[in-house]
Amino acid sequence: MRLLYSIFYFTALCFIAPFEYFKRPKEIRGRWIKERCGFIDARQDTAPRTLVWIHAVSVGETIAVTPFVKKIKEKYPETGIVLSTVTDTGRKVAKERLGSVARIIYVPFDLCFAVRGVIKSLDPALLVIMETELWPNMIGEASKSGVPVMLLNGRISEKSFDGYLKLRFFLKKVLGNVGFFCMQNKVYAERMIALGAAPERVVATGNLKFDTPKPASNPEWTAVLKGPVVIGGSTHRTEEELLLDAYAELKQDFQDLNLVLAPRHPERFKEVEELVMKKGFPLTKRSEIKSPYAAASLSGAVVLLDVIGELSGVYGAADIAVMGGSFIPHGGQNPLEPACWGKTIICGPHMENFPFMPDFYEEGAAVEVRKETLSAELRRLLLSPDNMVSTGEKAKTLYERNSGAIEKTLEIIGRYL
């Protein structure tokens, strides 16, 4: 089965890789193709030491794993860390947040020779895979080389579970090469066992994202925002238009209302900019807001957050956070980032990626709405500041109550170091 998978993967890669190569800036193309083919520089350690290879696919996973990596370095200072990512934005955030404590590389293609090349160069003592990046050759080659594999912060959505069940025979062999599964909750743990993982290797350790510390402060530029602030966080196509239409209605009664749009994918910044202009709103781009910030003032403005890595801090300046990816069948974006600030959270009907959301709704820590009722709910909250504060405080309390996943996971990873 792995052979058939490898043939299919390689065939697809022949069509996809050239596009992925040429869409990148020229200055990083060489490094990208080299590392993705498994050609990375060998370790330069002056003395043998334990090394952990951690794979986090993109920005969200990189941010979630950051405090965990730092805790590993605190508890095991002699342990080396290599962090691999798929996306350029994930690599950029990893460099900014972990560049001083970890080596950052692009993950190799899931081809046997590429994975073997990385394993040979790094000689890791452990491979840690974030969430559910179940790449058969990566896991299989690591196991074949005697490198233990651990799944960290694992999750399996209901939709993914239904798909995986159809591949259970093949997947069971892949899961058999994983030494331990640290799942976000009991539901995910049960699904992993149902797919064929050995029950004694599966444990619910909690969600690392609950342990992600909030930024020390808001970005300085947010001081220019005067008046209520609604943020559309990590939005997807059609959601910006939904927010802009609601904003147009609300502006009639809330002249100083600010709307911050933070598209999930940087390649859509230009598209969203054109949409705002088409709707007839003056637009301020975050990249054009310059210091000194004290001399500037924005009221009743639409702001495009066209930079990477600031959203979690910008939530601290919000009154209401509307979660992107939740008004389309995408599964939603991370509501914990505004929750840690104690901000009011509004979600659409699609938050399947976050199975703890029913707890938020039940305890009044977030509000679920449909597209048709978004504007009315925003109006209700803006007219009831006390309700906004109360909802935000409940979100923060629930966030703090669920922390502790890092310590539980460190106990398990210690068995391998």
CA distance 275 to 143: 49
Query: Is residue 294 scored above 70 in pLDDT?
Result: no
Query: Does one domain contain both 366 and 255?
Result: yes
CA distance 93 to 282: 30
At residue 45 the predicted structure's pLDDT band, cuts being 50, 70 and 90, is low
Whether 10 maps to a domain, the answer reads no
- Averaged pLDDT for residues 289-318: 90
pLDDT digits (tens, 9 = 90+) for 52-89: 999 998 888 888 899 999 999 999 999 999 999 999 98
Amino acid at 398: L
Query: Does one domain contain both 394 and 408?
Result: no
- To the nearest 10°, report the CA torsion of 271, 87, 262, 352: 110
Query: Does one domain contain both 272 and 197?
Result: no
Query: Is residue 47 scored above 60 in pLDDT?
Result: no
Q: Around Cβ 77, how many Cβ atoms within 10 Å?
A: 8
Query: Does one domain contain both 328 and 393?
Result: yes
Size of the chain in residues: 417
Domain residue limits at 258: 220-401
Lowest mean pLDDT among 62-71, 90-99, 210-219: 210-219
Whether 127 maps to a domain, the answer reads yes
Cβ pair 410, 67 in contact under 8 A: no
- Averaged pLDDT for residues 32-45: 87
- Averaged pLDDT for residues 43-59: 79
What is the percentage of the chain residues whose pLDDT exceeds 90?
78
- Averaged pLDDT for residues 390-417: 91
Amino acid at 220: E
Query: Does one domain contain both 233 and 267?
Result: yes
Cβ pair 127, 147 in contact under 8 A: yes
Query: Does one domain contain both 185 and 37?
Result: yes
Query: Is residue 247 scored above 70 in pLDDT?
Result: yes
At residue 34 the predicted structure's pLDDT band, cuts being 50, 70 and 90, is very high
At residue 121 the predicted structure's pLDDT band, cuts being 50, 70 and 90, is very high
Query: Does one domain contain both 193 and 225?
Result: no
Q: What is the pLDDT of residue 193?
A: 96
In three state form, how does the secondary structure of the chain look? CHHHHHHHHHHHHHHHHHHHHHCCCHHHHHHHHHHHCCCCCCCCCCCCCCEEEEECCCHHHHHHHHHHHHHHHHHCCCCEEEEEECCHHHHHHHHHHHCCCCEEEECCCCCHHHHHHHHHHHCCCEEEEECCCCCHHHHHHHHHCCCCEEEEEECCCHHHHHHHHCCHHHHHHHHCCCCEEEECCHHHHHHHHHCCCCHHHEEECCCHHHHCCCCCCCCHHHHHECCCEEEEEEECCCHHHHHHHHHHHHCCCCCCCEEEEEECCHHHHHHHHHHHHHCCCCEEEHHHCCCCHHHCCECCCEEECCCCCCHHHHHHHCCEEEECCCCCCCCCCCCHHHHCCCCEEEECCCCCCCCCHHHHHHCCCCEECCHHHHHHHHHHHHCCHHHHHHHHHHHHHHHHHCCCHHHHHHHHHCCCC
Q: What is the pLDDT of residue 194?
A: 96
CA dihedral over 191, 53, 103, 135, signed as positive or negative: negative
Q: What is the pLDDT of residue 212?
A: 76
Q: What is the pLDDT of residue 295?
A: 61
Cα-based distances in Å from 349 to 50, 246, 315, 329, 343? 45, 17, 21, 9, 19
Whether 193 maps to a domain, the answer reads yes
Q: What is the pLDDT of residue 403?
A: 83
| Contacts for 316 with CB less than 8 Å, ≥ 6 apart | 214, 215, 217, 218, 222, 341, 343
pTM over 0.75: no
Whether 178 maps to a domain, the answer reads yes
User: What CATH number has the domain bearing residue 81?
Assistant: 3.40.50.11720
Closest to 324 in 3D by CA, of 262, 366, 371: 262
CA distance 37 to 31: 10
Query: Does one domain contain both 175 and 69?
Result: yes
Q: What is the phi/psi pair of residue 347, to 5°?
A: -125, 150
Query: Does one domain contain both 97 and 178?
Result: yes
At residue 284 the predicted structure's pLDDT band, cuts being 50, 70 and 90, is very high
CA 96 to chain centre: 15
Whether 23 maps to a domain, the answer reads no
- Averaged pLDDT for residues 314-319: 97
pLDDT digits (tens, 9 = 90+) for 273-283: 999 999 999 99
Domains identified in the chain, total number: 2
pLDDT digits (tens, 9 = 90+) for 132-187: 889 999 999 999 999 999 999 999 988 889 989 988 888 999 999 999 999 998 98
Q: What is the pLDDT of residue 69?
A: 94
Query: Does one domain contain both 108 and 53?
Result: yes
Q: Between 45 and 317, whose confidence is greater?
A: 317
Query: Does one domain contain both 409 and 394?
Result: no
Query: Is residue 43 scored above 90 in pLDDT?
Result: no
Whether 22 maps to a domain, the answer reads no
Whether 212 maps to a domain, the answer reads no
Whether 276 maps to a domain, the answer reads yes
Cα-based distances in Å from 237 to 267, 268, 271? 12, 8, 9
Query: Does one domain contain both 189 and 278?
Result: no
| Catalytic residue list | 61
User: What CATH number has the domain bearing residue 259?
Assistant: 3.40.50.2000
